[in-house]
Structure 1
Amino acid sequence: MTPPLPLVARGGGGTLAGSLWLPDGPARALVLMHPGSGPSDRDNDAFFPPVRGALLAAGAAVASYDKRGVGGSEGSWLTTAIPDQADDAAAGLRVARTALGAAGGGIGGAAVPTVLFGHSQGGWVVLEAASRADVAGVVTSSGPAVTPGDQERFSTATAVRRAGWADADEALAVFDGLMALAERGAAYDEARAWSGVSERRDVLDRLAALGAFVPGSREVWELATLLVGHDPQDALRRLRVPLLAVFGDDDGVVPVERSVAALRGLVPPRLLDVAVLAGGDHRLQSVDGRFVPGYPDVVVDFVRRVAGAP
C-alpha cells in the first residue's frame, strides 16, 4: 500500500496534522473521517484503520486529522466545542481535496465526490460540517441525534442499571443535577460546591469509578459546559445531502431508539438511511471484539452510491 501523504491544515486552534490515504487506482470518492470524544488522533485509536482499509479497497481516498492538541496538531481539544470541530473538519477537507487533486484526483484527474464520516461525538461534528462544505453525503457511526447531555444521561443510566445498583434512581437524580448545571453553563466553583455536598460527592465518586462522565477538574468542567447543550436538530434540519446513520442495537452509550426517532422526524425520508446492526456495541463490535456483520460494508455501499460508483 502506498504510504499516506501528510496533510497540514489551519484550524481555529492552529495547525492540524493529518494524512491522506490513496487507493491503488484512481479515487472514486474522498472520505474525511472525524474521530470521537477525548484526545483522539487521526486513527481514532484503533477504530478507523479497518474502516479506512475497506474504503480504500472500494476505491475511495481517505483523510483524517489529529484533534487539536493531539499528535501533531496544535491547540487543545479541551477548549474545542462541536461547532469549532466542524470548522476544523471543513478546513481539513479543503486541504485534503487540494492534495488529492495534486496527486491526480479521480478518474482522468477529475474532482471526486466527498463524504464526511464521524464516529460517536464525531457524528455531531460532521452534521455541523455538512453546512460548511460542499459534500455529497454524510455518515454518522454511533452518532447520537440527541444532545450530549442527554446522551451522557442515557449512558450513565445504562451503566448503573447493568451494575445492579440498589439506589439507581437516587444516583441518576444526582447525575441529572450535575448535567443540568453544565447545561446552564454554571461556573466551576459553583459546580464544585454543589458536588462537594457529602451525599452527592459519594454518589459522584461511585459514578466516576463506573466510567460516567463526572468532570473532576476546572478544564474538564469547562469543556463539559461547551459540549453538553449542543443540539443537533438544527444541523439535521439544514441537511440537504444523503445521510447514513449506523448504530449497533446493543449500544449502551447512545440512545439508539430515541436517535432513530429524531432522525426520522427531522430528515426527509429521501435523504435518510438508517442501519441498526444486530449485536453491535458503540464501536459496532460484538462481544468477541470483531465488527458485527454488515459493518463497515454498509458504509462502503453508501459511499459508492452517493459517489455514483459501481
Structure 2
Amino acid sequence: MPTSADIPPKTRSRRRWLRRLLIASGCVVALAVAAGGWAIYQNDFDYRQEHVTITGSTQPLEGTLTLPKQGNGPYGLVLFIHGDGVANADRDGFYRPMWETFAKAGYASIGWNKPGIGGAPGNWLDQSLRDRALEAEAVMDWARARTDIDPHRIGLWGISQGGWVIPQVAVDRPDQVQFIIPVGAAINWERQGEYNLRAEMKAKNASDAELRAALQRREDSLVLLREDAPYERYRSTTTDSDPMSPDRWRFVERNFRADVSPLLPRLNVPVLLELGAEDRNVDVRETERVYKQLVKPELLTVHMYPDASHNIVKADLDHNQDSLKTVLTYIFAPRSLYVPGYLDDIRDWVSKLPPR
C-alpha cells in the first residue's frame, strides 16, 4: 500500500480539493434541506381550509374558507375585502398569517377571488364600490346559512380600497356586522390619489418640475372624468406614459367620487382602525383625524404603527418588494413581514368583543 510519500504532490493536492469539494457539497445539501424544512415549517399555519363556491352574488365567487383546527364551531367569521388591483382569495399568501391569527381567536376567515381572477367569472373592473359592498353582503348571507358559522360574530377586515367598502356593509347590515377593521383606509378618492402621487414621486427623488408635470397630467384626467368624457377623448389627449385601459378608465369613472365621510357617523359597530406611519398610498394622518372626528368615540380604537407601510408590513420590506431580504422573509418567515404587535393586537381586540 503506497504511503503519502509515494503519492505525487499534484495527486495529493487534487485529493485534498476533492475532499473539500465533497464536504462543501454536503454542507450545501444539508443547508438546502434544512432551509426547505424551515420554509415548510414556517408556512405550516395553524388552521384548516376548504375551497368554496359562494352563490348569491352577481356571479358565483370562488373562495377559500379558513377554519380553526380545533372543534366544529360555530365559529365567528371575518370577511377579507381586498384593496385595488388583481387579487386572488388569499392575496398570494399574504393573508395567511392573519387568518391564523383570527383562527387562534376562534374566528374563521374567508377571502375570494375577484371576478375574473383565478378562473372566477366576471371582471372586477366592471364593479363600483357599491357593487363590492353588495358582493360582501352576499357572502355574509351565504355564511350565515352554514351551521359552522356563528351569525352573531361576523366582521369585516378591509384594506385600502376595501376601507370604502366595509363601512357601507356595516351601515347596510347594522344588526349583522359585529365589527369592522379598516387597514390603510383612505377618506376621499381624489385626495388619496394626489397624496399617493406626491409620495411616490418623493420616493423616486423626482424634481419639482417632474412633480408639477405629473400633477398636471393627473388633473387633466380628473377634468375629463368630471365631465363624463368618453375613453376615446382621454386616450387622444393624455400624455401618460402608461395610460389607463378602457376597463380601468370606466372603473375609475364609477368610483373616483368615493368619500367615506358620510358613512362614518352612521356606524354602530366597533371599529379597529389600523394605520402605518410610513404609508405612501394613503394620508393616514387625515384618516386618523377624520375617523376620530366622525366615528362615535366609544366604538373606535386606533393603532398607528411606526415604521409600518400601507399593508402594516415593515416599511423597509414593503417599499423594497424585490429585494433579497423581502423575498427571503416572505419564504422563510412570513409572519415576520408584519410590524411587531399588529397580529397580536387584532387577535386581542377581536377576542374581547361581545356577539352582535
Over alpha carbons, which structure has the higher Rg? 2
Partner of 2:348: 301
Shift of 1:237: 2.5
Corresponding residue pairs, total:
285
Alpha carbons of structure 1 residues 98 and 113: separation in structure 2 relative to 1, 3 Å:
same
More displaced 10-residue stretch of structure 1: 28-37 or 74-83: 28-37
SS of aligned partner of 1:3 = strand
SS of aligned partner of 1:68 = coil
| Identity within the alignment, % | 26
CA distance in 1: counterparts of 2:351 and 2:222, whole angstroms: 40
1:1-310 aligned within 5 A: 1-4=47-50, 6-12=52-58, 14-23=59-68, 24-25=70-71, 26-99=73-146, 101=147, 103=148, 105=149, 111-133=151-173, 134-144=176-186, 146-166=187-207, 167=209, 168-195=211-238, 201=239, 204-205=240-241, 208=242, 214-215=243-244, 217-286=245-314, 287-288=316-317, 289=326, 290-307=337-354
- Map Cα deviations across residues 132-175 of structure 1 (whole Å, 9 max, x no partner): 3311110111111x222221211111111222222122322322
SS of aligned partner of 2:56 = strand
Contact 1:113/1:136 (8 A) holds in 2: yes
Contact 1:22/1:62 (8 A) holds in 2: yes
| Amino acid across the alignment from 2:258 | H
Contact 1:29/1:303 (8 A) holds in 2: no
CA distance in 2: counterparts of 1:127 and 1:49, whole angstroms: 24
SS of aligned partner of 1:40 = coil
CA distance in 1: counterparts of 2:225 and 2:92, whole angstroms: 28
Shift of 1:183: 4.3
SS of aligned partner of 1:233 = coil
SS of aligned partner of 2:263 = helix
CA distance in 1: counterparts of 2:92 and 2:190, whole angstroms: 24
Shift of 1:127: 1.3
Partner of 1:198: none
Contact 2:63/2:113 (8 A) holds in 1: yes
Alpha carbons of structure 1 residues 275 and 180: separation in structure 2 relative to 1, 3 Å:
farther
| Amino acid across the alignment from 1:3 | Q
CA distance in 2: counterparts of 1:115 and 1:280, whole angstroms: 24
Shift of 1:33: 1.0
SS of aligned partner of 1:296 = helix
More displaced 10-residue stretch of structure 1: 254-263 or 61-70: 61-70
CA distance in 1: counterparts of 2:273 and 2:200, whole angstroms: 24
Shift of 1:255: 0.7
| Amino acid across the alignment from 1:259 | T
SS of aligned partner of 2:61 = strand
Contact 2:276/2:310 (8 A) holds in 1: yes
Shift of 1:71: 2.3
CA distance in 2: counterparts of 1:149 and 1:185, whole angstroms: 16
Contact 1:7/1:20 (8 A) holds in 2: no
Shift of 1:251: 0.5
Contact 1:127/1:138 (8 A) holds in 2: yes
Contact 1:140/1:244 (8 A) holds in 2: yes
More displaced 10-residue stretch of structure 1: 170-179 or 74-83: 170-179
Query: TM-score scaled by structure 2?
Result: 0.75
Alpha carbons of structure 1 residues 238 and 142: separation in structure 2 relative to 1, 3 Å:
same
CA distance in 2: counterparts of 1:248 and 1:136, whole angstroms: 24
CA distance in 1: counterparts of 2:269 and 2:108, whole angstroms: 20
Shift of 1:3: 3.2
Unaligned 5+ segments in structure 1 are: 196-200, 209-213
Shift of 1:73: 2.8
CA distance in 2: counterparts of 1:272 and 1:181, whole angstroms: 38
- Map Cα deviations across residues 69-118 of structure 1 (whole Å, 9 max, x no partner): 2224321101101010000000011112222x2x3x45xxxx44111111
